[in-house]
Structure 1
Amino acid sequence: MLDRGLGAAVVAASCLLAGPALAADPPAVQGNVQAGAQKVSMCIGCHGIPGYKAAYPELYHVPMIAGQNAPYIVAALKEYASGARSFPTMDAIARSLSEQDMADVAAYYSSLK
């Protein structure tokens, strides 16, 4: 019984010490609207044209992203960059962006109404 109690105490102590370090998420990169405005030239050709449809590799309605929330845009870009989400043009563009670029582009588009 003593061994079991001691083992439980060791596990509890390790959880108390490691828990906060493991639970802490890295701080999110803050986007800059003005910097984002300078980085969207590759986006405007599709996402800035109302009703635009891409024809490659299939007919695809391109979503308007102006006013979309920034965390959603960053998450989508990260998914394209990782391959979790796929569309040829977006895959290439997202892989070319740094985390700061993604945050800046997202800040810019989320600021539009």
Structure 2
Amino acid sequence: MENTQTTDRTETHDTISSEKVDGTAVYGRDGDQIGSVHHLMIGKRDGQVRHAVVSYGGFLGMGEDYFPLPWSELTYDERRGGYIVDRDIAQLKDGPRYQRDREPSWDRSYDDQLTSYYGVRLM
């Protein structure tokens, strides 16, 4: 007898594949869509997601700004099927960001700049 039930191996109740996170909408506290998750930065040694890099603006990848947010800043909203950030776009624009051809050094100093701006600590 063949099992006709399929299992979605990219998402469970407690985990999700990074493939499904990339492109997920990100909304500000006002409910407006800010952008979408472009990629995640993951600690090589501890495996913890450190930052979600959110893309904003631009067209077909041109002129986009990227906002690295500490992962703890994002909360998944099942109703929206996206992440909520308790910030607005003005706060993001005043914080650390970069353009595609100017990616920062992802070193301790940059981590400190991010965590200082958002008032959080990395795990």
TM-score (ref. length: structure 2): 0.24
The answer to which structure has the higher helix fraction is 1
Which entry has the higher C-alpha Rg, 1 or 2?
1
TM-score (ref. length: structure 1): 0.25
The answer to which structure has the higher strand fraction is 2
